[in-house]
């Protein structure tokens, strides 16, 4: 075999190995976390752990329900805030804005994506939390504990996912063929009708994928959320309540885990749960995406 072909074969195998490694990482994590979480799973049925509301590690009570609900509330609220705003701005950027504005706006939005989580958290503490305490909550006549709430977490989180959704969505929309737009305009449709019925319809799978990508990141954004969300072990009942999402639990208590029996196992289980929640979210999203591509939705 000559050296040229040997090189080719080695490099392709190396790349295959790298790909296999990347694909298998998820399963290694799953197995690793399960292995470390198994002590607590063997003491109590999983159902009790997931739906019990009491968390007091010193008494050996590990109920994950408040944390699971906290995660879902914060992420859900962030979706509600982020999706409309980022969709509208990406429609504007790709369809209406002239190229100079686009050239100015895109780097700014990209910049937003690169800001470290803890900076968002600090900003949340000095701006979002006081805003909720002093202006928003009094205006609606609701009580908060100093503004630390799901709402604060949702606002901070939504801003963190804006840049991802905006940049991918406007990219997808710009990739829609110009011919389609011209055809639509030539039969007398207005610009908005063209966007709504032609561009958005064509770009729908891509937009949906952008939203999934944004929120897969959002589930685990720890620092920013834990700094503003209040971290109280209780099932929240409104967006003005404090909550305790799973990533915050892991980050906050990691240090104490060695002194209390089963604590480390419980924290590993929390990580496993988070992984599974994200996985389920992704599978559902993937199913919807397939349906969209088939034209069912």
Partner 1 sequence: MNRKILITAITVVLAVFIVATLSGFVGKPGAGTQNIPSGDAQTPAVEELEGTIRISGAFAMYPMMLIWSEEYRTLHPKVKFDISAGGAGKGMADTLGGLVDIGMVSRAITPAEEEKGAYWIAVTKDAVVPTVNSNNPALAQLKKSGLTRDEFEQIYITGTIRTWGQATGETSNNDKINVYTRSDAAGAPETWAKYLGNYTQEELKGVGVNGDPGLAEAVRQDKLGIGYNNVNFAYNLNSRKPVEGIEIIPLDLNENGKIDPEENFYGTLDEIVEAIGNDKFPSPPARDLNLVTKGKPTGIEEDFIKWILTDGQKFIPESGYIVLPQDKINEGIEKVDSSA
The site for partner 1 (CB under 8 A) is made up of: 13, 16-17, 20-21, 24, 28, 31-32, 35-36, 55-58, 121, 125-126, 129-130, 133, 143, 145-148, 226-227, 230-233, 242, 244, 248, 251-260
| Four-point Cα dihedral 128, 131, 136, 139, nearest 10 | 180
Quick one: 177 or 259, whose CB is closer to partner 1? 259
Quick one: 129 or 165, whose CB is closer to partner 1? 129
Closest separation between CB of residue 51 and partner 1, Å? 20
Quick one: 11 or 56, whose CB is closer to partner 1? 56
Quick one: 16 or 283, whose CB is closer to partner 1? 16
Closest separation between CB of residue 32 and partner 1, Å? 5
Closest separation between CB of residue 260 and partner 1, Å? 8
Closest separation between CB of residue 205 and partner 1, Å? 30
Closest separation between CB of residue 67 and partner 1, Å? 13
Quick one: 57 or 76, whose CB is closer to partner 1? 57
Closest separation between CB of residue 230 and partner 1, Å? 4
Quick one: 139 or 296, whose CB is closer to partner 1? 139
């Amino acid at each position: 075999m000559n050296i040229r072909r040997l090189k080719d074969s080695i490099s392709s195998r190396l790349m295959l190995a790298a790909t296999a490694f990347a694909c298998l990482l998820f399963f290694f994590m799953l197995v690793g976390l399960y292995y470390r979480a198994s002590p607590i799973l063997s003491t109590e049925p999983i159902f009790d752990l997931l739906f019990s509301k009491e968390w007091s590690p010193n008494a050996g009570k590990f109920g994950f329900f408040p944390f699971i609900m906290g995660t879902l509330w914060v992420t859900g609220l962030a979706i509600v805030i982020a999706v409309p705003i980022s969709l509208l701005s990406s429609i504007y950027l790709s369809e209406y804005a002239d190229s100079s504005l686009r050239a100015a706006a895109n780097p700014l939005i990209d910049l937003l994506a690169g800001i470290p989580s803890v900076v968002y958290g600090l900003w949340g503490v000095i701006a979002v939390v006081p805003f909720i305490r002093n202006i928003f909550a009094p205006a609606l006549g609701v009580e908060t504990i100093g503004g630390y709430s799901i709402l604060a977490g949702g606002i901070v989180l939504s801003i963190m996912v804006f840049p991802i959704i905006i940049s991918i969505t406007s990219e997808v929309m710009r990739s829609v063929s110009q011919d389609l737009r011209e055809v639509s305009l030539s039969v007398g449709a207005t610009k908005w009708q063209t966007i709504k019925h032609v561009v958005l319809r064509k770009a729908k799978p891509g937009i949906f994928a952008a939203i999934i990508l944004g929120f897969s990141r959002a589930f685990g954004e720890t620092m920013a959320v834990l700094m503003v969300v209040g971290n109280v072990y209780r099932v929240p009942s409104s967006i003005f309540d404090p909550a305790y999402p799973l990533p915050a639990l892991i980050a906050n208590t990691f240090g104490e885990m060695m002194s209390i029996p089963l604590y480390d196992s419980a924290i590993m289980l929390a990580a496993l749960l988070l992984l599974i929640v994200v996985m389920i979210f992704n599978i559902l999203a993937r199913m919807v995406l397939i349906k969209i591509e088939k034209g069912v939705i």
